[in-house]
Amino acid sequence: MNVTLDRIDNVNGVITLSIEEKDYQEKVKKELKQIGMKHPLPGFRPGHVPASLLQKKYGKDVLVEIVNREIYDNLVNYIQENKLNILGEPIISNAEEVNFDTMKDFSFKFEVGFAPEVSLKLDNTVTVPYYNIEVDQKMVDQQNEMLCKRFGKQVKGEQVDATALVKGSMVELDENGAVKENGLNVESTIVAPQYFKSEDEKAKFADKKLGDEIVFNPWATCEGNLGELSSMMNVDREQADIKSDFKLTVNEILVNQPAELNQELFDAVFGKDSCKNEEEYFAKLKEMIAGQLVNDSNFRFTVDAEKVLREQVGTLELPTEFLKKWLVRQDNKYTAENIDEEFTKMVPQLEWQLIKEQAAKQLDVKVNDDDLLADAKRIAYQQFAQYGMTNIPEDMIEKYAKDILENKEYRSQIVQQSVDNKLYAEIKNAVKLDEKTVNVDEFNALFAEK
């Protein structure tokens, strides 16, 4: 088989594969013989079917299959052996010229689009801004207040506040506001106004006291969620789809009492004996906030690094028409009518992907199992932290992380995230950082800039 490449320009080319009868003839004979062994024709024993009959019945199908297989294998091998950096996949351009009924020698032409050369410099002559976010007292106080509430406890209260749970009994009302005859009577229920989806219904509970009666609509509080209604009304889901108003009599109010600044709170937040007094507690609190803000600083670095590298590289030459044609063939959401508009939207992302690939190549970025586990553990820490669980044992975090990686969908996402994390870390090490310290308002303002 003969394979040649004709480069049309920097990013477009045609690969031609020519196959003669002598290249495939023996493979066709062998395949027909195997068919005769496995699927003999009526009246013939396996292996004794005349070659002429096998050729007549199966010859063309076998020819097409083997020629296509040979063409595909040689096309892939040629691209790999010559390290051709192509975009998309090759597109056959002369299929209508190939006739398996009349031809014995075949020539297949494939259009290919090449990735452009990306000229990129990553060293200390390249400067990228890096913003360190200052931890102020307001942040520390807010974090402490949140933790005190999270690790507080429910106690009996006299008045409904924003965090209260309200216990009581309630009865169904008719359209005139009177107790409905044969209506639902709930002897004991508990409601949490802070989680109501309706602000109007939530407002009906504000500042209510023991013994007060409240007319409200349970259905409106949860937008008809049958699970929530059945729990509130103590009935099965099938009976819970009630849109009537109810009158609730307040029998007990439970409010959140924030945790005190003592050893019990210190241990709950940071682990037993991690800090012994308020000074150590607030120092660790500040350290924890600073650690969280590093993630924000690093994210901002990715934005600024992308901007700097894009400006350095400039506009990339792409095989535009080839890629449009390939996309239309690949996905039916792209058509001749919309491909110009859709492709224009894709260009920035495609250009940035090519720049990242070049950066990863230059910096020799590779991700291994340890990197994946480390990123999965970071995700695990973040998920536990959302629920106020900040002192989870390391072995539990590692087990949770490994469980995450066993999920194929999550693993694929983490692989991509790990590649990006490592790439940006290497870019950060390679370039010169223009470090600036800003407060949180100044940092947030950066994202409002065009």
Q: Which domain holds residue 58?
A: 2-114
Q: Are residues 164 and 288 in the same domain?
A: no
Q: Please, which pLDDT band fits residue 411 given cuts at 50, 70 and 90?
A: confident
pLDDT of 267-312, one tens digit each? 988 888 889 999 999 999 999 999 889 989 999 999 999 999 999 9
Q: Are residues 252 and 286 in the same domain?
A: no
Q: Is residue 341 part of a domain?
A: yes
Q: Please, which pLDDT band fits residue 394 given cuts at 50, 70 and 90?
A: confident
Q: Are residues 215 and 294 in the same domain?
A: no
Total count of domains within the chain = 3
Q: Are residues 345 and 434 in the same domain?
A: yes
- pLDDT surpassing 80 at residue 90: yes
Q: Choose between 374 and 322: higher pLDDT.
A: 322
Q: Are residues 62 and 28 in the same domain?
A: yes
pLDDT of 212-221, one tens digit each? 999 999 999 9
pLDDT of 226-251, one tens digit each? 999 999 999 999 999 999 999 999 99
Q: Are residues 185 and 307 in the same domain?
A: no
Residues 259 and 272: their CA atoms lie apart, in Å, by 16
Q: Choose between 376 and 352: higher pLDDT.
A: 352
CATH number at residue 222: 3.10.50.30
Q: Is residue 270 part of a domain?
A: no
Q: Please, which pLDDT band fits residue 449 given cuts at 50, 70 and 90?
A: low
Q: Is residue 263 part of a domain?
A: no
CATH number at residue 61: 3.30.70.1050
Q: Rounded mean pLDDT of 132-156?
A: 92
Q: Are residues 286 and 432 in the same domain?
A: yes
- pTM of the prediction? 0.71
Q: Are residues 280 and 353 in the same domain?
A: yes
Q: Is residue 162 part of a domain?
A: yes
Q: Are residues 244 and 381 in the same domain?
A: no
pLDDT of 17-30, one tens digit each? 999 999 999 999 99
Structure tokens at 48: 């004794």
Q: Choose between 43 and 77: higher pLDDT.
A: 77
- pLDDT surpassing 60 at residue 450: no
pLDDT of residue 325: 95
Of the residues 194, 229, 257, the one at which a domain ends: 257
